[in-house]
Amino acid sequence: MSILNVRGLKKRFGHNEVLKGVDLSVEPGEVTFLIGPSGGGKTTLLRCLNFLEMPDGGTIEIEGQKLCQEDASGFRKAPEKQIRQARSRMPMVFQHFNLWNHRTALENVIEGPIVVQKRSRSDAIDEGRRLLERVGLKDKLGSYPAELSGGQKQRVGIARALAMQPTLLLCDEPTSSLDPELVSGILDLLRVLADEGRTMVVVSHEMGFARRSADRVHFVDGGRIAESGPPETIFNQPETERLKSFISAILH
């Protein structure tokens, strides 16, 4: 059974129709990449998946639970509580990290488990230490985000998402706001997560990363998924003109 199943997803901002009916499904353990030109709707699509943006139409089904659906009788959303619960299992790694400034690295990581999952503080701290150690920040537990470099912030961001024991990890351009020399460290980390068999949906411009780690690549353009396939096909034998020119633009 698919972890994620999206049918006909629509989203508009005022008169601007950003998503015009997107179909997407993600199998367990699959790493899905969304690529495409900016303004094409890939970030909006990702943000709709965990309801950071409210979709205007379509169906989103996560682990068999319908969070919103559109049928003959119209468009309905699941109760707020159900959406919140689903969200906590698909946390997001953000382009701009969005670490909570008033919390240390460790506090950032344990906040969700304690407040949302109601786990005991000592459990959450043990797990948080372990995760921060794992992303290479053993000696930064007590540092505030302002005291960390971009790469270190994103490592905390990843640890914070992992602490929620996600069934689906959403990554929104996780390396786009990093200095070039910090990018590879984060990519290595994400690659390890992908190789572990985690289910991930990643918006990224890192084509090398996509080639190496993606199971499936979707080219999002003009509010639709214009082309899909395994990375070899997408990168080596693109079918549509749009994708051909996008790939040559990004590789050169």
**Contact between 145 and other proteins (CB under 8 A)?**
yes
| Residue 145 φ/ψ, nearest 5 degrees | -50, -35
Neighbouring C-alpha atoms within 13 Å toward the C-beta of 76: 7
**Contact between 55 and other proteins (CB under 8 A)?**
no
For 138, counting Cβ atoms within 10 Å of its Cβ (0-12 exposed, 13-18 middle, 19+ buried), the class is exposed
**Contact between 102 and other proteins (CB under 8 A)?**
yes
Site stretch for other proteins (CB under 8 A), options 33-41, 108-116, 120-128, 201-209: 108-116
Instruction: Return d(Cα 151, Cα 178) in angstroms, integer.
Output: 7
Selected from 54, 115, 192, 250, the binder of other proteins by CB under 8 A is: 115
Contact positions with other proteins (CB under 8 A) in 162-201: 164, 170
Tokens for 168? 């689906």
Long-range CB contacts (< 8 A, 24+ apart) of 69-77?
70/8
The secondary element (H helix, E strand) that includes residue 146 is: none
Is 55 strand, coil or helix?
A: coil
**Contact between 133 and other proteins (CB under 8 A)?**
no
Contact positions with other proteins (CB under 8 A) in 219-238: none
Selected from 4, 19, 24, 99, the binder of other proteins by CB under 8 A is: 99
Q: Could you list the residues that contact other proteins (CB under 8 A)?
A: 50, 52, 80, 84-85, 87-89, 91-92, 94, 96-102, 111-112, 115-117, 142, 144-147, 160-161, 164, 170
